[in-house]
Chains A and B, each alone.
Chain A
């Protein structure tokens, strides 16, 4: 069955520090992979996506993610975190004919001054 695991429920980093949010997936075929961000009281906004090609993808707000097929991972990174990055981050996998996205349970990011 398709699934997405985000092992970290809550991460706190200092402003200016680097960030890596982990995501592992289980999918029978080549997955389409996504990272979404949800600010408090808001809907979800797409940060970046991977369909094929270069395994390192760039997204908005300075985020990037790397697809590693051997590890079934799609970790999100940012070299220097800003206070405005505090939010909930969701990894998702899709690609079925019905077009559904399956989400991980999210990682809450807190940023210390």
Chain B
């Protein structure tokens, strides 16, 4: 069983479209994250939810909206896609806001905006 699963794994779309990426974890963790990895492999936190409550919201355009229907799911919706949104988006989870734990990552969703 995959611990942290993301769908879709690949997404190619046109500028201006709206798209969503879904994430589910079956580890029973309380905290979930979205990270963005750019073309130079740099990983940066975007959002974090703890038990469905938003706890980290980095400087991200408000075209990006996370939604956590329950603590096992954290989805990412992106409106009006731009070329610069092309990246790999990683979902991750941890047992609690990371004070002593580790992050468990999904395999990533590669978004290409044309």
Contacts and interface: CB of A to CB of B under 8 A. Distances in A.
A100 B45 CA distance: 7
A62 to B, nearest CB: 19
Nearest to B108: A43
Contacts of B41: 38, 88, 105-106, 108
The A interface is mostly helix, strand or loop, or mixed, namely: strand
A6 to B, nearest CB: 11
A43 B105 contact: yes
A57 interface: no
A19 B100 CA distance: 27
A99 B90 contact: no
B107 A95 contact: no
17 contacts: A43-B105, A43-B106, A44-B43, A44-B105, A45-B105, A46-B103, A96-B99, A98-B97, A99-B50, A99-B55, A99-B98, A100-B45, A100-B98, A101-B98, A103-B42, A105-B42, A108-B41
